[in-house]
Structure 1
Amino acid sequence: MPEIRILSDQVANQIAAGEVVERPVAVLKELVENSLDAGAQKIEIEFRNGGKSYLRVEDDGMGMNPDQALLALERHATSKIRKASDLNKVGTFGFRGEALPSIASVSRFVIRTRPVSSNEGTEIFINGGKMIHCKDCGMPPGTRVEVSHLFNSVPGRRKFLKTEVTEATHLIHMAKLYALAHPSVTFTLIEGGRTVFRSPACDSPADRVREIFGRGLAESLTPMDAQENDLRLSGLLGKPGQSRSTRKEMIFFVNRRPVDSRTISYAVIEAFHTFVPKGRFPPAILFLEIDPAVVDVNVHPSKREIRFRDDPKVRSFILNSVLAHNRAMASPSSEFKPALPVVEYEEENGRQVPKIDSQALALFGQSKIIEESQPKSNSLQETPCPKEETIKDDQPDLSDGDNKKILPSPSSAEIIPRTMVGNRRDPGAEWRFLDCPHGDLAVFSTLQGVVALHVRAAYERVRFEQLEDSLRDHSSVASQSLLLPEPLEFDGIDRASLEVSLVKLRELGFVLEEFGRNFYRLEGCPHWIDPEYAVRYLHDFLEIARENGGAIQVESFVRQALERQVNYRDETKDDFSDDEIMDLANRLLSCRNPYVCPQGRPIYFEIPTRDFENRFKRKL
């Protein structure tokens, strides 16, 4: 057996670097965390060749004197903790005390730092773990760290790095995460001399999202805030109907630290059930504030993963908070805000007056404002235009002195009533039905633009909430007897699931009697389901139970089977008339969640007028 020896500090640091420094983005993470812990208000990041050849992080934090700078490059040297119990309440980002020496052992490492109290800075140069020099230098207060030729001293590690594009993508994403977590800090990111983004300090994460992720993502999110005891959840969540094919835009922070957490991720996905389609994911940027003593951030060497002491409590809080936000966002939209009056200016005296809607005038005898144009001296206009005779003889001929004839103002009883949905000639409707040009597509005009609605999806949502309301009703235990009992035969798996769920199903109104081994007889069904679909509903219920591996959750399975049942309605097989479409849209806008169907797919979307104006390059 070989002789046991103590490894040198250089080898020990390189081994530690294998855990702490996996790739350039790990270096960036450690350096940015140190800058934030130093109280930096400005952080500038620069890299080249995906961070393999050069990476720089510069801040205006408190800086270090020469002794502290040298001590920071020793293993297990840190200012963040003093005793082992401090690990139970870590309130800083970097606390391991091995990041800097590990990075310096596998790169060409230069650190320049200066505290505010000193007139000179300190420069320390280390190459592959060997000290080259330590000298004074001139620089502004703060710290500047340059890491170049990463893994040159350990080429075996370097060959496992990905392409420059891949490594650069990780660096940019990490920089954006920390910029998002700290909107009060100015971040600048430079790649190969090109500024990727420069985000000055701002008030809220929403402003930072708009600056670094773009307006598209920012406009698809809505703010949320919830608090319960020592837990607080805030941030931005996707609007109803917004979804993504990957989890890339599900970003979570715990005490301002970007983390990967299954607890948070699964809670958010479950809260968005029926709000996004199955297999798609909601955009979400959430910040969880929690007592550091009840969260373990020391599970993973690079601190990517965390662990909660009371995992069910955190999961339940996030699930309920996000679900309450989604339900509030999908609240009935029947309470339309009254439209602001459209005004215009009189040409004669510049007074601001309400603009008269021509469609509103059509309700009162097809009357219009009549211009009594006087012949002008222009030779091209030899005869005046004929007057439009639209005013009835029995109405007074009123004039405002400028040869304009107008009708008297209608009385209060004649004011146009406001409705949610109407036909194209209804001036009081918020949505005016235009046409059903193709299949299930219905088009409405609104004050803001044009709405495209999927008729069948709207029907499914209306029908689903009708069934859901009936199911919640206290009288839902009442059953309706079938004229002829339906025989049912099940295999062993479905029979076992049915036996476990039988008591709950009977409480819901299903009358099932055992009729031999693996045979049952359905003699009655709840009033909220049509008898002809009761058997199909039970088969759906058992199929969902089978898909979930036999873990019986009756309430959840009943709801999922209800979602499937709305697709089997005979009414959805025929085309809808115009009146049925308007009635359906009216009922949809009174639903609790009018934005998505029971499967989470969008029901309607609005194209604002400004989009048409952008396309036409002119005002409409």
Structure 2
Amino acid sequence: MSKIRILPDRVANQIAAGEVVERPAAVAKELIENSIDAGANKIEIEFRNGGKSYLRVEDDGVGMDPDQALLCLERHATSKIRKASDLDEIQTFGFRGEALPSISSVSRFTLRSRAKNSSEGNEILINGGKMIHVKECGMPQGTRIEVAHLFNSVPGRRKFLKTEVTESSHIIHLAKLYALAHPQITFSLIEGARTLFRSPACENLIDRVREIFGKSLSECLAPIEVQAEGMNLGGLLGKPGYSRPTRKEMLFYVNRRPVESKTMSYALLEAYHTYAPKGRFPPAVLFLTIDSSLVDVNIHPAKRELRFREDMKVRGFLIESILQSIQELSGKRSREIKKIELEKDSLSGRMVPKIDDRIFEKFKPSSFPQSSHIVELKPEFEFLPGALASNPSIKKTSGIEDRSDTNSKEPVKPVVGLRGDPNVTWRLVDHSHGSMALFITTHGVVVFHCRSAYERIRFEALEDSFEKNQKVGSQSLLLSESIELDGVESAFLQKSLPQLVEIGFVIEEFGRNFFRLEACPTWLDPEKAVSYLRDFLEIASESGGESKIVMYAKEAMIKQATKNPGAKETFSENEIVRMANQLLSCRNPYTCPQGRPIYYELPVRDFETRFRRKI
């Protein structure tokens, strides 16, 4: 066994860099936080190749004199805390003094800074932890830090970085988070020679959201401001009826610090439980202000997560505040509950609610028509067999008597039929509980979920529209739809336009980050074309934005196929039989597009085991 020895400072810094600097976005985060702590009114971020080859953060803050600039590159050197008790009441972003020495140990690091009272600035160059030079330079007041060739001195770490598109998306998302948290600061984000966004100082949060995310998101948000129990919840909350396919636009801040908080995330989703469809997420930009002694921001090396000292109290406050705001946005107001009058029942002798005599006058039997009519209830969504006509692998069925090939001499025997049909394998017994149906088979009993079967049939019909050997038709929209996107989604859409045209979309560029949808595929409802396209772009951005158009389109297609058009569906027996026959002709009749089972069989032997005798 080798002897124990103290590691050199350079090696210790590189090990510490593994905790603080995991990717280029982590470098940008530390530098942006230092700029905010320095009282900057303007912050400019520039990067190239996903931040791997070059990253610059420049501000007009207080700056540093030569001694302070050298001292900030030492480990555990900070101006934010003086004693251990200061950790209980942290008011600043960067406070541990590990970021700059860790970053400089794994990159070519250039620091330029000039204090307010200094006549010139100072430049410090460090390459892989080695000091190259310290010299004077001319520059305005503030600090400029350049990080080049990140992880070149640690190639093992560099090879685990993701693609340039993925790393760029992390930096862009991070810059947006801090720009939202500080609307009084002018933020600029530049990728290479292209300006992604330049947002001047804004008076309120909604203006900053409009500047960064666009008008479409800002219009579906409403302000929230609730104060109680020593906590304050502010920001913007999604209006009922608006939702997103991913969690990307669920943004949380605690004391102006962007965080990933399960407490806040679960509280938001629980409050929106009945206001957002299942599988969709409400957009929100929520700022929680709380006593800094009641929250611990030092539990994660990169300060991404935090812990509340009174977690249940915070969660209850958030749920109650968000629910109250949602009800106000929905137009629901708390009504005064009228006192219920009681009377004694002559038969039971118990006190029961008193019945208003006016009810009998309003609903007396003579007010009803003498003749009764049987009204056939239609399902809440219309089953479209025409959508399956383009799929040659799905046999067209219509009731019991059906032929899949008009040229064939013998009719194709259907597998599923009604309860009185002796020539089928599955006989429908009954359907109940909305989407559940029961079939008797030669081997047992089949329990069938109608809604899941519809989703599978619809999904495979949509999926066939993406086959290369099929020509996809387009239908022109009566009025073209305008779409406003952010910089990342706009760039991805421009790259994807040729492939989107192949699957039936007609999209024209209408200006910077503006597009116009002229036509959509024939299999897609024109009213849902814009929502489908937004789902497609958000899923693509969430997945890194690589050129996997068909994969992203199919994931968005799953969401379209599984969106619930009504709270409860009803199916007639003929529709259930037709769906079951079409399902058994699908490529995968066993699960819905989300992987849940469509039907399962209870064999006779299971009943014999339960009854302990032959049936």
TM-score bracket for the superposition, by shorter chain length = 0.5 to 0.7
Q: Which residue in 2 is equivalent to 1:24?
A: 24
Q: Which residue in 1 is equivalent to 2:125?
A: 125
User: Is 1:207 paired with 2:197?
Assistant: no
Q: Which amino acid aligns with 2:305?
A: E
Q: Which amino acid aligns with 2:138?
A: G
User: Which secondary structure does the structure 1 equivalent of 2:147 belong to?
Assistant: strand
Q: Which residue in 1 is equivalent to 2:70?
A: 70
User: 1 CA distance for matches of 2:27 and 2:187?
Assistant: 17
Instruction: Give a deviation string over 1:6-27, Cα, whole Å, max 9, x none.
Output: 0000000000000000000000
User: 1 CA distance for matches of 2:205 and 2:265?
Assistant: 19
TM-score where L is the length of structure 2: 0.55
Instruction: Give a deviation string over 1:322-355, Cα, whole Å, max 9, x none.
Output: 000111111259xxxxxxxxxxxxxxxxxxxxxx
User: Which secondary structure does the structure 2 equivalent of 1:133 belong to?
Assistant: strand
Q: Which residue in 2 is equivalent to 1:140?
A: 140
Query: How far 1:566 sits from its partner (Å)?
Result: 7.6
Instruction: Give a deviation string over 1:180-222, Cα, whole Å, max 9, x none.
Output: 1000000000001110000000011111110011111111111
Q: Which amino acid aligns with 1:72?
A: C
User: 2 CA distance for matches of 1:265 and 1:34?
Assistant: 27
User: 2 CA distance for matches of 1:325 and 1:96?
Assistant: 38
Q: Which residue in 1 is equivalent to 2:285?
A: 285
Q: Is the 8 A contact 2:379 2:569 kept in 1?
A: no
Distance change in 2, residues 1:51/1:439 (3 Å): same
Q: Which residue in 1 is equivalent to 2:425?
A: none
Q: Is the 8 A contact 2:380 2:569 kept in 1?
A: no
User: 2 CA distance for matches of 1:287 and 1:174?
Assistant: 16
Q: Which amino acid aligns with 1:204?
A: N
User: Which secondary structure does the structure 1 equivalent of 2:225 belong to?
Assistant: strand
Instruction: Give a deviation string over 1:221-242, Cα, whole Å, max 9, x none.
Output: 1111101132000111111111
Q: Which residue in 1 is equivalent to 2:172?
A: 172
Find runs of 4+ consecutive structure 1 residues off by over 6 angstroms.
438-441
User: 2 CA distance for matches of 1:66 and 1:294?
Assistant: 37
User: Which secondary structure does the structure 1 equivalent of 2:243 belong to?
Assistant: coil
Q: Which residue in 1 is equivalent to 2:478?
A: none
Instruction: Give a deviation string over 1:469-527, Cα, whole Å, max 9, x none.
Output: xxxxxxxxxxxxxxxxxxxxxxxxxxxxxxxxxxxxxxxxxxxxxxxxxxxxxxxxxxx
Q: Which residue in 2 is equivalent to 1:59?
A: 59
Distance change in 2, residues 1:140/1:281 (3 Å): same
Query: How far 1:568 sits from its partner (Å)?
Result: 7.8
Residue segments in structure 1 that go unaligned for 5+ positions in a row: 334-437, 442-531, 537-562, 571-620
User: Which secondary structure does the structure 1 equivalent of 2:86 belong to?
Assistant: helix
User: 2 CA distance for matches of 1:280 and 1:77?
Assistant: 45
Let me know the Cα RMSD of the aligned residues.
2.7
Q: Which residue in 2 is equivalent to 1:49?
A: 49
Q: Which amino acid aligns with 1:148?
A: A
User: 2 CA distance for matches of 1:90 and 1:314?
Assistant: 19
Identity of aligned residues (%): 69
Q: Which residue in 2 is equivalent to 1:102?
A: 102
User: 2 CA distance for matches of 1:276 and 1:233?
Assistant: 21
User: 1 CA distance for matches of 2:332 and 2:47?
Assistant: 50
Instruction: Give a deviation string over 1:13-58, Cα, whole Å, max 9, x none.
Output: 0000000000000000000000000000000000000000000000
Residue segments in structure 2 that go unaligned for 5+ positions in a row: 334-377, 382-431, 437-563, 572-615
Q: Which residue in 2 is equivalent to 1:91?
A: 91
Q: Is the 8 A contact 2:233 2:286 kept in 1?
A: yes
User: 1 CA distance for matches of 2:567 and 2:83?
Assistant: 61
Residues 25-40 of structure 1: matches in 2 within 5 Å? 25-40=25-40
Query: How far 1:253 sits from its partner (Å)?
Result: 0.5
Q: Which residue in 1 is equivalent to 2:250?
A: 250
User: Which secondary structure does the structure 1 equivalent of 2:96 belong to?
Assistant: coil
User: 2 CA distance for matches of 1:566 and 1:19?
Assistant: 48
User: Which secondary structure does the structure 2 equivalent of 1:97 belong to?
Assistant: coil
Q: Which residue in 2 is equivalent to 1:153?
A: 153
User: Which secondary structure does the structure 2 equivalent of 1:112 belong to?
Assistant: strand
User: 1 CA distance for matches of 2:4 and 2:14?
Assistant: 19
User: Is 1:233 paired with 2:218?
Assistant: no
User: 1 CA distance for matches of 2:60 and 2:240?
Assistant: 41
User: 1 CA distance for matches of 2:215 and 2:77?
Assistant: 43
User: Which secondary structure does the structure 2 equivalent of 1:303 belong to?
Assistant: coil
User: 2 CA distance for matches of 1:106 and 1:227?
Assistant: 45
Instruction: Give a deviation string over 1:560-582, Cα, whole Å, max 9, x none.
Output: xxx9x984899xxxxxxxxxxxx
User: Which secondary structure does the structure 2 equivalent of 1:217 belong to?
Assistant: helix
User: Is 1:321 paired with 2:321?
Assistant: yes
Aligned pairs, number? 353
Instruction: Give a deviation string over 1:148-182, Cα, whole Å, max 9, x none.
Output: 00000111111000111110010010001000100
Distance change in 2, residues 1:229/1:131 (3 Å): same
Q: Which amino acid aligns with 1:16?
A: A
Query: How far 1:245 sits from its partner (Å)?
Result: 1.5
